[in-house]
Amino acid sequence: MKLVVGIVHSDDAETLIRVLEQKGQRCTMISTTGGFLREGNATVLVGVSEEQVDQVLDVIRESCHARTQLVSPLPPVAEAGEFYIPKPVEVQVGGATVFVLDVVRSEKY
């Protein structure tokens, strides 16, 4: 068994879990926060057999889209009399960051 962990944009998460459910695939969505942007994203957990992994990856690829986002860098330490005009930089976020993990054991009670 494998655990597919997909970190996706919050705006794509609903579509992703709806399509997974339509395909009969159980999944769990967790609200998470990206370490760099400190903005909300979503982490979707999908437990599957090894044969189903590629199908899940296809759904993630089709449901999640890359976006560009503007980030204001932290100001440098300023000397007296200096001032700093922050210049936002563009970063590309997603479509999805996916990890496929081996599941050693799975139980349901």
DSSP secondary structure, 21-84, as one string: HHTT---EEEEEE-TTT--EEEEEEEEE-GGGHHHHHHHHHHH---EEEEEPPPPPPPPTT---
Shortest distance (Å) from residue 3 CB to ligand 2BA: 14
Instruction: Return the residue of 37, 55, 61, 84 that touches ligand 2BA, per CB under 6 A.
Output: 37
Q: Does 41 bind ligand 2BA (CB under 6 A)?
A: yes
Q: Is 98 in the site for ligand 2BA (CB under 6 A)?
A: no
Residue 63 interacts with ligand 2BA (CB under 6 A)? no
Structure token pair of residue 42 = 């979503």
Contact residues: ligand 2BA, CB under 6 A? 7, 34-37, 41, 91-94, 97
